[in-house]
Amino acid sequence: MIRVREAIVVEGRYDKAALANAVDAVIVDTAGFGVFSDREKLALLRRLAKARGLVVLTDSDGGGFLIRSFLKSAIDPSLVKHAYIPEIYGKERRKKAPSKEGKLGVEGMGPTVLEQALRRAGATIDGEAAPGGCVPPLTKAELYALGLSGRPDSNLRRKALLKALDLPGGLTANALLDVLNVLITRDELSELLESLTGDSPR
């Protein structure tokens, strides 16, 4: 089991229980959309962010992205990392029916998948060096130059890249930029895009 320095934010208690089987960390749940009106919870998350940093790990559905977006606007973005689980369709064991979008949430992911999501987000893991990523960070202009934003086929190229990286298809270009800056080097990104499209990034 890995030990993560940052506090990890999840949506609910079942997510918290699943994550506790994968990592040793401070885990706080938002009680779903409850965090929108819970000033004390939000104050706690801000304090944790300042003290040790936060990793947001929500479901890869509309609700998860809404909570993520709220936290992004309410907490200093420089203190927050974003971890994403892959889009996998199915139903959690405890539920009688799949979720509205039919995707498994954090609670439906195994420990290995959760650990990989945290590693890809650049979580600080005790006893390990920080991940490489892009230095200096990729810019929006580079995403455009690579055909990942602002072009007629950018959405298709971005979706192919997200699928290859096992990330949810709903990531915006800005969210993708954040992830790529932690996850991959420029050379690795260029090689991956070339392998996906069969042509050199433009």
Question: What pLDDT does residue 200 have?
Answer: 47
Nearest by Cα to 19 from 130, 140, 123, 101: 123
The number of CA neighbours under 13 Å toward the Cβ of 159 is: 6
**Percent residues over pLDDT 90 in the chain:** 50
Q: What is the mean pLDDT of the chain?
A: 88
pLDDT above 70: residue 130: no
Question: What pLDDT does residue 94 have?
Answer: 82
- For 48-84, what is each residue's pLDDT tens digit? 999 999 999 999 889 999 999 999 999 999 999 999 9
Question: What pLDDT does residue 21 have?
Answer: 92
Which domains occur in the chain, in start order? 2-120 (3.40.1360.10), 140-197 (no CATH)
What mean pLDDT is predicted for residues 157-166?
88
CB under 8 A, 24+ apart: contacts of 143-150? 143/173, 143/176, 143/177, 145/201, 145/202, 146/189, 146/190, 146/193, 146/201, 146/202, 147/193, 147/201, 147/202, 148/173, 148/176, 149/173
